[in-house]
């Protein structure tokens, strides 16, 4: 990826590496889409729910709650899916619950799914936090370690066992974190009965957001033929006016197969086709995928239709899957981030999946509102701090040209025991799952393997070297970073990243109230890091808490005025350094978000430039002014926008 001397050969090698890497995992994880050969049944809505409040949280397994209907085991309540369960009731013990919770729902499946042996029926959970086990009609079908990423299992044979019965789906989810989970955490039992009630325990976490739990993203049943398109990998490139889509199609369940691949433009016209399972599609007069505000028509997507004609011992099958494809390149020099060979400056935000009542639950109105706010403020990018976001969000980014730094849940790696092999192996698995899920998104331009780990600790070097090299081997076409804290004296992982990402909070956690230190300290930070590593730098977090409606002049901490001045003081330095090697600035944070209770958090973290209800604070207007100015300087505004714009 870094300035290859023989670009053509280099690309081909990258491609083979990506195709090989894509094969490391047993199966693909294509987003379920309807087509002439595939149906999708969404199971969003009300599920039965029961938290296992027994002292060891194991009653559900001791009494085998999955074997009967959940209400037969004890009292159940209604629980919306998708949603975190924590803020749904008035029960404080459920908000702060740690352990197993049980969800159940009965589904009537179409008769054809039952009778047609040539149909494969799959259950897919978009994400559940943290450890999940799934049963269908009392039979375990899968388990999954980790939130934020999808998992699935074939369930056709179980559904067919007794077609007269509805299909009963039970999902148990446990939010307990350990030193080997991502993010890590630990349970602390406190036995002093003079101070704490019997059985008292807490979950210690080392990250700054509420550990929301439950089924966070949609649960689906979907079908494919028994011979089916299991995975598609695309890597794009262009030379002059000709785009190249290098692709590979993986097929499962077929004894013989032929494939037809057709690439269509936005108007549905075929621009290239092939009958090979892998190869290169050449697109004459290509419409490249461009970021928002860098081009007048950002987010251009082609549609790649893969049509499989296959046979197995049962019958012949046709399977159709259509993948949106954006044609673009990404590369990095020692001072620049290039998209389509042109310098790209990240002017964007850090986000969280977080909102009132829903917690981390997937919610279309919230997602669309957030995209409208991003575009209103002229943001061209965000980092998925501190875990992978829903695939539907990345699809929106592809379509709107919002550039993404895709971060895995490696946040809060602070305890030296979390650098052991068990943790590293799990972290490598999570990167496999993340790259498998997100490799085809044009909007994803960089992987972030962690946020602010204790990177000065001795085992950090081996840990991050291994992790970063593994990620580069998985996907040699994208740069890899991890996010450092500016105050760490020695950063053992930094030599291995392609881009340095730094978080710093001058005049907040350090020298609180002293706004005058910002220009000097920020300047020193940049000079030190660039001097040491000679790699482009993104200011990946900066900001200050502001309680909305709190004012003071001269500015004082926690007021909207203080937040404004922190931002403005940083912007002056960014403006000097972006002429050299600073390639981006991402505000912390897009919106206020919930955290654990603590003496530095006033009902959550208030560093949002929008409130949790998505209303602008004064700082949002500062950013809007700045981002549109940056866009005017560095990009080409779409014809339908006028500065200052009111989208």
Q: Is 398 in the site for ligand GCB (CB under 6 A)?
A: no
CB-based contacts of 483, cutoff 8 Å, min separation 6: 383, 407, 448, 450, 451, 452, 501, 502, 503, 540, 541
- Give whichever of 257 and 567 is closer to ligand GCB, judged by the CB atom: 567
Active site residues: 452
- Give whichever of 181 and 451 is closer to ligand GCB, judged by the CB atom: 451
C-alpha span between 168 and 109 (Å, rounded): 11
- Give whichever of 252 and 448 is closer to ligand GCB, judged by the CB atom: 448
Q: Is 607 in the site for ligand GCB (CB under 6 A)?
A: yes
DSSP structural state of residue 495? G
Q: Is 380 in the site for ligand GCB (CB under 6 A)?
A: no
CB of 386 to ligand GCB, least distance (A): 6
> Which position among 52, 87, 104, 208 is part of the footprint of ligand GCB (CB under 6 A)?
208
Q: What angle do CA 613, 614, 616 make, to 5 degrees?
A: 125
Binders of ligand GCB in range 68-107 (CB under 6 A): none
Contact 388, 407 (CB under 8 A): yes
Strands 278-283 and 242-252: antiparallel
Q: Is 230 in the site for ligand GCB (CB under 6 A)?
A: no
Nearest to 370 by CA among 400, 345, 344, 326: 400
Q: Is 451 in the site for ligand GCB (CB under 6 A)?
A: yes
- Give whichever of 249 and 565 is closer to ligand GCB, judged by the CB atom: 565
CB of 59 to ligand GCB, least distance (A): 35
Binders of ligand GCB in range 535-594 (CB under 6 A): 541, 588
Angle between helix axes 391-400 and 364-376 (nearest 10 degrees) is: 30
**In the chain, how long is the greatest CA-to-CA distance?**
78
> Which position among 87, 452, 498, 560 is part of the footprint of ligand GCB (CB under 6 A)?
452
C-alpha span between 463 and 302 (Å, rounded): 39
> Which position among 86, 292, 605, 628 is part of the footprint of ligand GCB (CB under 6 A)?
605
Nearest to 450 by CA among 489, 490, 419: 419
- Give whichever of 325 and 497 is closer to ligand GCB, judged by the CB atom: 497
- Measured CA distances, 634 to 291, 298, 627 (Å): 12, 14, 10
CB of 486 to ligand GCB, least distance (A): 9
**Through-space distance between the first and last CA atoms of the chain, rounded to whole angstroms:** 37
- Give whichever of 607 and 612 is closer to ligand GCB, judged by the CB atom: 607
CB-based contacts of 62, cutoff 8 Å, min separation 6: none
Neighbouring-strand partners of residue 404? 382, 444
Residue number of the CB closest to ligand GCB reads 208
- Give whichever of 440 and 484 is closer to ligand GCB, judged by the CB atom: 484
Number of residues that bind ligand GCB (CB under 6 A): 9
CB of 130 to ligand GCB, least distance (A): 18
Count Cβ neighbours within 10 Å for each residue of 509-542 and write b for 16 or more, e otherwise: eeeeeebeebeebbeebbeebbeebebbbbbbbb
CB of 592 to ligand GCB, least distance (A): 10
**For the window 9-48, what string marks contact with ligand GCB as x by the rule CB under 6 A?**
----------------------------------------
Place of tokens 């279309």: 364
- Give whichever of 306 and 591 is closer to ligand GCB, judged by the CB atom: 591
CB of 600 to ligand GCB, least distance (A): 8
CB of 606 to ligand GCB, least distance (A): 9
CB of 505 to ligand GCB, least distance (A): 7
Nearest to 511 by CA among 498, 524, 502: 524
Count Cβ neighbours within 10 Å for each residue of 40-66 and write b for 16 or more, e otherwise: ebebbeebbbbbbeeeebebbeeeebb
Contact 584, 382 (CB under 8 A): no
Binders of ligand GCB in range 496-525 (CB under 6 A): 503
Binding site for ligand GCB (CB under 6 A): 208, 386, 451-452, 503, 541, 588, 605, 607
């Amino acid at each position: 990826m870094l300035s290859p001397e023989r670009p053509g050969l280099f690309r081909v090698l990258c491609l083979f590496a990506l195709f090989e890497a894509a094969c490391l995992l047993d199966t693909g994880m294509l987003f379920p889409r309807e087509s002439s050969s595939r149906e999708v049944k969404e199971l969003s809505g009300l599920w039965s729910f029961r938290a296992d409040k027994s002292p060891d949280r194991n009653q559900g397994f001791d009494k085998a709650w999955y074997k009967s209907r959940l209400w037969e085991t004890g009292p159940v309540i209604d629980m919306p899916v998708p949603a975190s369960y924590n803020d749904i009731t008035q029960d404080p013990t459920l908000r702060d619950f740690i352990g197993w919770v049980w969800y159940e729902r009965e589904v009537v499946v179409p008769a054809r799914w039952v009778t047609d042996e040539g149909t494969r029926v799959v259950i897919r959970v978009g994400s559940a936090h943290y450890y999940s086990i799934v049963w269908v009609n009392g039979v375990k079908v899968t388990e999954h370690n980790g939130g934020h990423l999808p998992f699935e299992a074939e369930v056709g044979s179980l559904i067919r066992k007794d077609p007269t019965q509805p299909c009963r789906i039970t999902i148990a989810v446990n939010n307990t974190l350990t030193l080997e989970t991502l993010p890590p955490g630990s349970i602390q039992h406190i036995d002093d009965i003079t101070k704490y009630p019997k059985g008292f325990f807490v979950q210690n976490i080392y990250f700054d957001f509420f550990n929301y739990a439950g089924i966070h993203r949609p649960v689906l049943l979907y079908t494919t033929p028994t011979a089916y398109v299991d995975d598609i990998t695309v890597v794009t490139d262009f030379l002059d006016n000709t785009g190249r889509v290098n692709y590979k199609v993986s097929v499962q369940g077929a004894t013989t197969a032929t494939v037809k691949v057709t690439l269509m433009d936005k108007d549905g016209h075929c621009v290239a086709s092939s009958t090979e399972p892998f190869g290169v599609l050449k697109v004459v007069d290509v419409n490249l995928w461009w970021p928002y505000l860098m081009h007048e028509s950002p987010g251009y997507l082609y549609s790649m239709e893969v049509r499989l004609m296959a046979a197995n011992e049962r019958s012949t099958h046709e399977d159709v899957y259509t993948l949106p494809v954006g044609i673009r390149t990404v590369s990095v020099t020692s001072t620049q981030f290039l998209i389509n060979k042109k310098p790209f400056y990240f002017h964007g935000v850090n986000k969280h999946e977080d909102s009132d009542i829903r917690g981390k639950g997937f919610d279309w109105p919230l997602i669309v509102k957030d995209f409208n706010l991003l575009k209103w403020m002229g943001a061209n990018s965000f980092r998925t701090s501190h875990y992978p976001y829903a695939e539907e969000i990345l699809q929106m980014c592809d379509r709107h040209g919002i550039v993404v730094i895709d971060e895995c849940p490696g946040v809060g790696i602070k305890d030296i025991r979390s650098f052991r092999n068990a943790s590293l192996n799990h972290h490598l698995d999570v990167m496999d799952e993340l790259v498998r899920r997100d490799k085809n998104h044009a909007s994803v331009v960089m992987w972030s393997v962690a946020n602010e780990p204790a990177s000065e600790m001795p085992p950090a070097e081996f840990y991050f070297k291994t992790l970063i090299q593994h990620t580069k081997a998985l996907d040699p076409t994208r740069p890899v970073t991890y996010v450092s804290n500016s105050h760490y004296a020695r950063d053992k992982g930094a030599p291995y990243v392609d881009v340095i990402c730094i978080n710093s909070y001058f005049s907040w956690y350090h020298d609180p109230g002293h706004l005058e230190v910002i220009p000097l300290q920020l300047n020193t930070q940049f000079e030190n890091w660039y001097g040491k590593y000679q790699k482009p730098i993104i200011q990946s977090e900066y900001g200050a808490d502001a309680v909305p409606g709190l004012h003071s002049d001269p500015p004082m901490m926690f007021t909207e005025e203080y937040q404004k001045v922190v931002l403005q003081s940083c912007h002056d330095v960014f403006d000097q350094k972006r002429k050299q090697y600073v390639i981006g600035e991402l505000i912390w944070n897009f919106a206020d978000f919930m955290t654990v209770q603590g003496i530095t958090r006033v009902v959550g973290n208030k560093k949002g430039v929008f409130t949790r209800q998505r209303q602008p604070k004064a700082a949002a207007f500062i950013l809007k002014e700045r981002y549109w100015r940056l866009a005017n300087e560095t990009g080409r505004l779409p014809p339908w926008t006028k500065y200052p714009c009111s989208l």
